[in-house]
A and B are shown apart, each in its own frame.
Chain A
Amino acid sequence: MVLYCLGIESTAHTFGVSVATDKGEILSDVRDVYTSAPGTGIHPREAAEHHSEVAARVVSQSLTQAGIRATKLAGVAVALGPGLGPCLRVGATVARALSSYLQIPLIPVNHAIGHIEIGTLTAGASDPLVVLVSGGHTAIAAFSGGHWRIFGETEDITLGNLYDMFAREIDLPSPAGPEIEKLAQKSSGFISLPYVVKGNDVSYSGLLTASLAELRSGRRLEDVCYSMQEVSCSMLAEAVERSLAYTGKKELLLTGGVAANKTLQSKLSEVAKLHDAAYYVVAGRYSGDNGAQIAWTGMLALRAGVVAEIDQARVRPKWRLEDVDIPWRDEGAA
């Protein structure tokens, strides 16, 4: 018998719903994304209003696309954090209602763990050193002792923040990674910018300030984009190299929204090569936030008995990934 799990993602700009099976198939993946005007960031309340408006339609489309009835579901999973409170509450409310109405378990999922699990599933990795890069995360993690452990991370803003905050200042639309990548290709020269690696950690706030200052001083936008991208990705590559040498992991997995960046991909593949590690990237369509990462992680959690009582399934905007118990994963090669 096949088990079906519905997953709901609403941590930031994306409201996504998906159905996954216990065989690791993603039967549906429907998303509706809130977009802010160029030059402005995500407004939590407006994003939450967007999510409320589209929720019912996205849920029903997702079930239709999967070709199953709601009564066939074994559980409903929801990303309870980390993320923006107002946005999280929309997903949580929908999940509680479905769980209560259908009399099926409610499964709490950590959004970051979702990025990791959909990455290992779609790329085919088993026990990787994970590089999670998105609007909310820039972290290097490895699994040990029932938890994902953070080896390195940003000390201030994330790589996604760096690109988005830079873009906002110059009225580019968000998420800005792809646009910055395009501009960088038209660059004609490198500008020296602050490169800050502290052990396995990186710091991007100085790079943001310096990049904006260079732009205001009259440098070409293309050159600033190129240099900022080179420096930020090289910094992360170095931190990853240190972590890889330290842990001795033989797999490297890149996942999260910024995983789509080609410069970052090529640098990390060089790092993997230097340490004889196999290199994996999350399947392109699952790099950005989506319901499938929640549905699949929910399925893994459900099979391991991780469920929440409805009245205890509260949102956790600051939920750190190393605090999540992971009873479904083997110790692997570590």
Chain B
Amino acid sequence: MQPKLIYKGAEAEIYLEEWFGKPAIRKHRISKAYRIPELDEAIRRMRTSHEANMMHEVRKLGVPVPTIQHIDLESSTLIMDYVNGPTLKEELYRLSMHGRRERCASLGVLLARMHEGGIVHGDMTISNVLSEGGKLFMIDFGLGDFSKETEDKGVDLLLLNRAMKSTHYAFHTVLFNAFMKGYVSIAGEKQGKEMLHKMREIEKRGRYFERG
């Protein structure tokens, strides 16, 4: 299998390729011309190792992530298992309302586990969740971090809510409510309320408005 470019972001390129006979994902952090080479290399190396570390920590909290097969800091590359399934964003289009609620509640459980364990995602959208036969995997921990701050957790919730609104406008309230149900089942009612309050407060500052 020839490596195939499947996604190009501002920071990294994602390739689908073969790793010891099995399909795998290669995430390569690209060099930036606006940074001098010494700095550029150090940053890409640090972030590659940080992302691998975050994925490892998240997995310990019982949150499925693709298994990392290989870390190459020299080329700032991660090779991880290929999750054979659509993003949650895509899957939500074709599920029944019941299925949608179920998936979002599962996501709520996963994010609450992370938050309770002191980790925030930093770029929490339904495009950064993959579904393989109904089992959800979290991906893209490039902006993930250790944090117990309500503010950081609130940003995760806000970004998720925004993503649901912008792609599934007709039923985004159902999705988010189902997500909160799952979240609260782990984090508790009190924490859930506090998070919603924080989310609205952050939203009012008007920074995270929709693109386009």
Contact = CB atoms under 8 A, between A and B. Distances in A.
Q: Determine which residue in A199, A231, A237, A270 has the highest number of CB atoms from chain B within 10 A of its CB, and name it.
A: A199
Interface stretch (A1-9, A12-20, A240-248, A294-302): A240-248
Interface in A297-334: 322, 334
A230 B36 contact: yes
B94 interface: no
Interface stretch (A74-82, A144-152, A279-287): A144-152
A184 to B, nearest CB: 12
Nearest to A266: B34
B39 A195 contact: yes
Interface residues of A, number: 30
A241 B205 CA distance: 22
A149 B204 CA distance: 11
Contacts of A192: 38, 42
A144 B43 CA distance: 33
B63 to A, nearest CB: 21
Contacts of B206: 145, 147, 149-150, 322
B190 interface: no
B34 A271 contact: yes
B133 to A, nearest CB: 32
Given A195-B43, A199-B143, A234 B207 contact: no
B6 interface: no
A55 to B, nearest CB: 36
A322 to B, nearest CB: 6
Nearest to B43: A195
Contact of B34 (A144, A147, A234, A334): A234
Interface string B177-212: 000000000000000000000000000011101011
B207 A190 contact: no
What's the dominant secondary structure at chain A's contact region? helix
Given A190-B39, A230-B39, A234-B34, A242 B209 contact: no
Contacts of A190: 36, 38-39
B209 A145 contact: yes
Contacts of B33: 270, 274
Interface string A245-287: 1111000000000000000001110110010000000000000
A247 B211 contact: yes
B34 A231 contact: no
A238 interface: yes
Interface residues of B, number: 21
B207 A149 contact: yes
A75 to B, nearest CB: 29
Nearest to A241: B10
Nearest to B33: A270
Contacts of A230: 35-36, 39
Contacts of A238: 32, 34-35
Contacts of B39: 190, 195, 230-231, 234
A248 B212 CA distance: 7
Nearest to A150: B207
Given A192-B42, A199-B143, A267 B207 contact: no
Given A149-B207, A151-B207, A199-B122, A245 B35 contact: no
Given A195-B39, A267-B34, A322 B10 contact: no
A139 to B, nearest CB: 11
12 contacts: A150-B205, A150-B206, A190-B36, A190-B39, A195-B42, A195-B43, A199-B122, A234-B32, A237-B32, A237-B34, A241-B34, A322-B205
Complex A-B, nearest 7 residue pairs according to Cβ-Cβ distance, in ascending order:
A270-B34, A267-B34, A245-B10, A234-B35, A237-B34, A190-B38, A270-B33
Interface of A: 144-145, 147, 149-151, 190, 192, 195, 198-199, 230-231, 234, 237-238, 241-242, 245-248, 266-268, 270-271, 274, 322, 334
